[in-house]
Structure 1
Amino acid sequence: MQKPISITALASISPLGKSLQESWASYQNNRHCFIEKRVLKTPVFVAELTKEAQQDITLLRQSDAKYKSLDDTVLYAIYASRQAVEQAGWKASDNFGINIGSSRGATGLFETYHEDFLKKHKAKTLSSPTTTLGNISSWVAHDLQTQGPEISHSITCSTALHAVLNGIAWINSGMCNQFLVGGSEAPLTPFTIAQMQALKIYSKQDSSGRAQSRPYGAIRDDIDYPCRALDFGKKQNTMVLGEGASMACLEAGIKSNALAVIKGYGYATEILEHNISISSDAQCFQRSMAMAMADTPPDEVDAVVMHAPGTIKGDISEYNAIKKVFCNKMPSLTTNKWKVGHSFGASGLLSMELAVLMLQHQQFINVPFYAQKPTKQLKNILVNAVGFGGNAVSILLSRE
């Protein structure tokens, strides 16, 4: 790190709620956020926004005639960004930068426009400008009336943490002192879910409607978990999609209002043997975690918020990487995908939000079916994300 970077605000809209307080309250129980929904006549598990959050998005869409044609990814980003900037006390005149990414972008709108095109053989006027990935940060900049740089990007499931890397780079370069970073995803559409099912990584059900997963650890038999991220005894893939957006305000230096400080960052891409897989010991994670820790001894990292999508190979490869990096000084391990699902490009920031909340409240959030010793103190937490293409990012957060 060339200079300390403070996280002065965090805001999100997700299946956990629409505020940090609601999210933290949701983490206090072992209930998941999944519902059963019929997609193309097939029952699947998904994690939707809470009803209250959905109502707020509807009101946002109706608040401006220009917003009626926007995809949910853009509206989620606008909603969370407003909260984050207000929380940080930023003003448009500060000319802060914006970098918000999405793995899939305007999936819902694109599918709707394409279906209409197949019927009429003509594209609607707004089909192009409202489905381009770049309009996420642009619309947020318009909504906040800022004049700083704006960047949109997609680096699959590590998109949000790559936005953090970009924010750090801009601040370290001296070109900006403040950067709004994050990710937004609305992937609960028929084609997106079908793509994950085609990969054979999506959580399945049996004829009774229960997820096909065996009881494990201390889990009560009457509680069913469709996504079993960090259940290393599962016999099949259990990834479930979720939606939402999460934003963070980054500022140069250690600020009095800092929620946490970015102590280190790391990134790596490995040579792939398959289009969607990483090595059995996730070499990209080994390099990104080692880079993020730098001079921080392994025994000073108290916890790791894992990417852990709930797939057999994905979970175990990251776990193997952690074992290689930390050896006999394993930190506590957690993830939130068993609860909120995998929100693709937004997932890394939601993981970072969990890490910051744990640092703030000095309480470790366990995964229900992964037994480990309780963590008494939380000072340094590592956050991981990786996507198709083996592009890993690790961010080391510290409680100052």
Structure 2
Amino acid sequence: MLKESISITALSSTSALGDTPVEVWESYLDGQHKMAEIQIGEHSVWASKLTTIGESNIRQLRLSDTKYKELDPSVLLAMHTARKAITAAKWREESNFGVNIGSSRGATTLFEKYHQSFLKDSSAATLSSPTTTLGNISSWVAHDLKSKGPDISHSITCSTALHAVLNAVAWLQSGLTDKFLVGGSESPLTPFTIAQMQALKIYSKEREIPCRAMDLGKKRNSMVLGEAAAMACLELGKKGNALAYIDGIGYATEPLEHNVSISTDAKCFQDSMKMALGDMDPTTVDAIVLHAPGTIKGDLHEKRAIEKVFCNKIPFLTTNKWKVGHTFGASGLLSMELALQMLQHQTYISVPFFNQEPKSDTIKKVMVNAVGFGGNAVSILLSK
């Protein structure tokens, strides 16, 4: 149990769903996926790209300062989204807030660009190292916002963003700071990254709806990659402007059965969800936003874990990956955004492949799940 409440006072994102909370909510209501077939390297693949407005905002940011011209898209996505978040939370620049932003893959665009150049003439560009370090994202966001608190980066694959939440909660509970900006940023639509997912035989070859997340009867994997960033402002205590509160946090890691899969009943998810619940009655959870990446085993094993924890009183289950694909390190915060939107609008967002009636008309508590390569699960319990 948390020693003191944690308020989420802002959450901002940029993705194929939109660049503002209104655009994002409208995307959730329209019943359409936001993926398109695009050319990446020599292949035409399904992908989830930023909206036209989002791309324009990132382009303007890149041109706004000569120092920003050489930054990886993942850094610019984070900077743009972080600016929106602290504005919405009414935080002042140069105040004492921490920054913890992670990424699963990091500076993929620049890594591939610099490596291709190196293969040609065996020399590296001057900025190849400083612009591709893992700490590059958080450090540039902290620089841009002139924050004076701790500055942390990490990569814990697809649960990166929710691990940032865990870390911030620990800092806030310790009393070392009372505000933390957390999130994830990913720009993985590059030839080598796509090739890696295709090599795993998990990338989508579907036609009508490319990512069939939570279609538990699908016969082939259907993961689709997307670019996105999402940031949340966390504050210690119950704040009047809170969008929601963090009631519980859970985390777990399980021994690997395979490099890319979790166990058949996702023991890591069972443990993380139980830890997030603590002594709370599981029946008080109204909905769960699943990680559900659109793979056969990933979706099914997470569902089995939920059945183990919640028995015959399963909450309403949903995911956003059928709409926006898998945004790797940013995905957990995009899932948290969906949870906040459902709490705010008191509306359940369903998945076309999974028919389920809500157990209640109101939405008071929503759990958010994430897991990545390595079986590192996180569960966050939110309340209105």
For 2:370, the equivalent position in structure 1 comes to: 385
For 1:358, the equivalent position in structure 2 comes to: 342
For 2:278, the equivalent position in structure 1 comes to: 294
Q: What is the rounded CA distance, in whole Å, between the counterparts of 1:234 and 1:352 in structure 2?
A: 26
Counterpart of 1:370 (choices 345, 350, 354) is 354
Name the amino acid aligned to 1:4: S
Superposition deviation, residue 78 in structure 1 = 0.2
Q: Which runs of 5+ in 1 are unaligned?
A: 206-210, 212-223
Paired residues for 1:277-316 under 5 Å: 277-316=261-300
Paired residues for 1:321-332 under 5 Å: 321-332=305-316
SS at match of 2:204: coil
Residues 182, 234 of structure 2: 8 Å contact kept: yes
For 1:53, the equivalent position in structure 2 comes to: 54
Q: What is the rounded CA distance, in whole Å, between the counterparts of 2:97 and 2:315 in structure 1?
A: 35
For 2:137, the equivalent position in structure 1 comes to: 136
Paired residues for 1:1-400 under 5 Å: 1-205=2-206, 211=207, 224-374=208-358, 375-399=360-384
Name the amino acid aligned to 1:85: I
Residues 163, 181 of structure 1: 8 Å contact kept: yes
SS at match of 2:230: strand
Q: What is the rounded CA distance, in whole Å, between the counterparts of 1:295 and 1:83 in structure 2?
A: 36
Q: How far does the alpha carbon of each residue in 1:312-370 deviate from its partner, in whole angstroms, 9 at most, with x for none?
A: 00000000000000001100000000000000000000000000010000001000111
Residues 235, 312 of structure 1: 8 Å contact kept: yes
Q: How far does the alpha carbon of each residue in 1:233-281 deviate from its partner, in whole angstroms, 9 at most, with x for none?
A: 1100000000110000000001000000000000000011111111000
Q: What is the rounded CA distance, in whole Å, between the counterparts of 2:43 and 2:100 in structure 1?
A: 36
Q: What is the rounded CA distance, in whole Å, between the counterparts of 1:36 and 1:307 in structure 2?
A: 23
Q: What is the rounded CA distance, in whole Å, between the counterparts of 2:296 and 2:83 in structure 1?
A: 38
Q: What is the rounded CA distance, in whole Å, between the counterparts of 1:93 and 1:47 in structure 2?
A: 34
Q: What is the rounded CA distance, in whole Å, between the counterparts of 2:94 and 2:119 in structure 1?
A: 45
Q: How far does the alpha carbon of each residue in 1:107-128 deviate from its partner, in whole angstroms, 9 at most, with x for none?
A: 0010001001111211000000
Q: What is the rounded CA distance, in whole Å, between the counterparts of 2:94 and 2:211 in structure 1?
A: 44
Please, what is the CA RMSD of the aligned residues? 0.8
Name the amino acid aligned to 1:363: T
Residues 103, 157 of structure 1: 8 Å contact kept: yes
Q: What is the rounded CA distance, in whole Å, between the counterparts of 1:295 and 1:87 in structure 2?
A: 33
Name the amino acid aligned to 2:174: S
Residues 156, 387 of structure 1: 8 Å contact kept: yes
Q: What is the rounded CA distance, in whole Å, between the counterparts of 2:89 and 2:151 in structure 1?
A: 18
Q: How far does the alpha carbon of each residue in 1:143-165 deviate from its partner, in whole angstroms, 9 at most, with x for none?
A: 00111110010000000000000
Residues 41, 190 of structure 2: 8 Å contact kept: no
SS at match of 2:288: strand
Q: What is the rounded CA distance, in whole Å, between the counterparts of 1:83 and 1:295 in structure 2?
A: 36
Q: Which runs of 5+ in 2 are unaligned?
A: none
Q: What is the rounded CA distance, in whole Å, between the counterparts of 1:273 and 1:164 in structure 2?
A: 27
Name the amino acid aligned to 2:218: K
Q: How far does the alpha carbon of each residue in 1:2-29 deviate from its partner, in whole angstroms, 9 at most, with x for none?
A: 1100000010111011111110011011
For 1:220, the equivalent position in structure 2 comes to: none
Q: What is the rounded CA distance, in whole Å, between the counterparts of 2:94 and 2:259 in structure 1?
A: 44
Superposition deviation, residue 39 in structure 1 = 2.5
SS at match of 1:86: helix
Q: What is the rounded CA distance, in whole Å, between the counterparts of 2:205 and 2:269 in structure 1?
A: 28
SS at match of 2:153: strand
Q: How far does the alpha carbon of each residue in 1:146-193 deviate from its partner, in whole angstroms, 9 at most, with x for none?
A: 111100100000000000001100000000100000000000000000
Name the amino acid aligned to 1:393: V
SS at match of 1:290: helix
TM-score by length of 2: 0.98
Name the amino acid aligned to 2:79: I
Q: How far does the alpha carbon of each residue in 1:24-67 deviate from its partner, in whole angstroms, 9 at most, with x for none?
A: 01101111111101233322100000011101100000000000
Q: What is the rounded CA distance, in whole Å, between the counterparts of 1:270 and 1:151 in structure 2?
A: 25
Residues 40, 189 of structure 2: 8 Å contact kept: no
Name the amino acid aligned to 2:138: S
Q: How far does the alpha carbon of each residue in 1:278-327 deviate from its partner, in whole angstroms, 9 at most, with x for none?
A: 10000000000000011211110000000000000000000000000000
Residues 308, 314 of structure 1: 8 Å contact kept: yes
SS at match of 2:139: helix
Runs of 4+ in structure 1 off by over 6 angstroms are none
Residues 92, 147 of structure 1: 8 Å contact kept: no
Residues 290, 317 of structure 2: 8 Å contact kept: yes
Name the amino acid aligned to 1:253: G
For 1:214, the equivalent position in structure 2 comes to: none
SS at match of 2:194: helix
Kindly, what percent of the aligned residue pairs are identical? 65
Q: What is the rounded CA distance, in whole Å, between the counterparts of 2:223 and 2:289 in structure 1?
A: 17
